[in-house]
């Protein structure tokens, strides 16, 4: 659970999150292009790290409930509301059948602009400007502490994301090779780029 | 690893002359790592009741939500705010604990031992709001500076019959 790298921060009118793309089981890397950042709705991203079964199940559950709210009420949830709903689900399950999933929830609301919420697996919720999970956080948080300032442009932000990825790749012994970067702003949530240093081997044709 | 030391916290509250003060640190950590330096541990229930929750942050958040829910229901039924003694009874019932009504000060959190010492030596009866603010702030800052799991500034509320003064303290940021 600590081997998965997720980090993100808020810029000028946008929020950016990055996650590694390795699906690992013990010493085996199942796949190296697993997308761990789910598009929750048009203007929200949920970057999740943790036990892979829980990660997919829990984030899909949140995604479907967010969609249901929009169908029932005709308007989408705000980022804060979605974050609090997510925390509520984690908190309810915590002392029965906990989900081992850490989440960074990034969103853009017309009224309040971009926001980022840190939600760890024991349902601690906090609104942050920058956040990270896993072993990678020891490096990405320090890089962000050094280089982050409020109101960064997209170019500056991607530069900082790349700095963090470089640091993780060079200093973490179990560094994941590939990352995906997604961004959310007034135009919506979308994939920005991949950072690949290892590509899956091509499958031989029959 | 105790769940009371997982996130780190420091809380102190003092009674003055017709006023009270409640203060907390601002660190949110995950064991040795600091996640945020602007975490709010003290919440206003209503104008005369402030609630500070130390310990595991997720449980503090859940408990706070449950208590606000119960208080809002009370407000709807009774058309008034809960008295502090009543609210204290509600909290102690939820925690299965007998509450103690302190006449001087109360402390909580990972820095509680330091806080006990600091408060015991600095506290005086019937302090005016300004002196109370100074005393609470000094007690908090000196105690959290000896505890690696709490600190990164302070949050102090001084409540008098007429107003509530909220102040942020700048302390050692380490």
pLDDT tens-digit series, residues A107-159: 999 999 999 999 999 999 999 999 999 999 999 999 999 999 999 999 999 99
Residues 107-146 in A contacting B (C-alpha not used; CB under 8 Å): 118, 120, 122-126, 128, 131, 137-138, 141
pLDDT > 90 in chain A, percent: 90
CA distance B8 to chain A (A): 13
Pairwise pLDDT comparison (B22 vs A204), residue with the higher score: B22
CB neighbour list of residue A173: distance below 8 Å, 6 or more residues apart: none
How far apart are alpha carbons B149 and B5 in whole angstroms? Answer: 8
Domain at B3-169: CATH code: 3.60.20.10
| Token code pair at residue A113 | 């602009």
User: Which runs of consecutive H residues, i.e. helices, occur in A148-194?
Assistant: 154-171
Chain A: residue whose CA lies nearest to B58: A124
CA distance B35 to chain A (A): 7
Q: Which domains does chain A have, with CATH numbers?
A: 5-201 (3.60.20.10)
pLDDT > 70 in chain B, percent: 99
Is the pLDDT confidence value at B135 over 70? yes
Q: Which residues lie across from A14 on neighbouring strands?
A: A185
CB A179 within 8 A of CB A194: yes
> Which pLDDT band holds residue A206 (cuts at 50, 70, 90)?
low
User: Smallest Cα–Cα separation from B22: which of B33, B14, B30?
Assistant: B14
Q: Do B61 and A91 touch (CB under 8 A)?
A: yes
Q: Where are the domains of chain B?
A: 3-169
CB A101 within 8 A of CB A133: no
Q: Do A123 and B62 touch (CB under 8 A)?
A: yes
Write down the pLDDT at residue A199: 77
What are A183-203's pLDDT values in tens digits? 999 999 999 999 998 877 677
Chain B residues within an 8 Å CB radius of A94: 58
């Amino acid at each position: 659970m600590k081997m998965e790298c997720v980090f993100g921060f808020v810029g000028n009118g946008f929020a950016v999150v990055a996650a590694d793309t390795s699906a690992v089981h013990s010493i085996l890397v199942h796949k190296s292009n697993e997308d761990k950042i789910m598009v929750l709705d048009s203007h929200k991203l949920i970057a999740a790290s943790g036990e892979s079964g829980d990660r997919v199940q829990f984030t899909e559950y949140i995604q479907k409930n967010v969609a249901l709210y929009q169908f029932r009420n005709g308007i989408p949830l705000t980022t804060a509301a979605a974050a609090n709903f997510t925390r509520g689900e984690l908190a309810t399950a915590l002392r029965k059948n906990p989900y081992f999933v850490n989440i960074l929830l990034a969103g853009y609301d017309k009224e309040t602009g971009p926001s980022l919420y840190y939600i760890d697996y024991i349902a601690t919720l906090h609104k942050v400007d920058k956040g990270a999970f896993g072993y990678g956080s020891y490096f990405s948080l320090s890089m962000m502490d050094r280089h982050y300032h409020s109101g960064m442009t997209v170019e500056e932000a991607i530069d900082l994301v790349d700095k963090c990825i470089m640091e993780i790749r060079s200093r973490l012994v179990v560094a994941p090779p590939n990352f995906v970067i997604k961004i959310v702003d007034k135009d919506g949530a979308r994939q920005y780029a991949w950072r690949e240093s290892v590509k899956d081997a091509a499958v031989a044709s029959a | 690893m105790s769940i009371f030391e997982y996130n780190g916290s420091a809380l102190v509250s003092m009674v003055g002359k017709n006023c009270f003060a409640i203060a907390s640190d601002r660190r949110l950590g995950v064991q040795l790592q600091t996640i945020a330096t602007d975490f709010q541990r003290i919440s206003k229930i209503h104008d005369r009741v402030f609630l500070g929750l130390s310990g595991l942050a997720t449980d503090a958040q859940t408990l706070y939500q449950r208590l606000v829910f119960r208080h809002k229901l009370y407000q709807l039924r009774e058309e008034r705010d809960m008295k502090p003694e009543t609210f204290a009874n509600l909290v102690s019932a939820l925690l299965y604990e007998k509450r103690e009504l302190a006449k001087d000060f109360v402390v909580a959190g990972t820095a509680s031992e330091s806080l006990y010492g600091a408060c015991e030596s600095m506290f005086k009866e019937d302090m005016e709001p300004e002196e109370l603010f100074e005393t609470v702030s000094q007690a908090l800052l000196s105690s959290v500076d000896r505890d690696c799991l709490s600190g990164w500034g302070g949050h102090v509320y001084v409540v008098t019959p007429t107003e509530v003064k909220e102040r942020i303290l700048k302390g050692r940021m380490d």
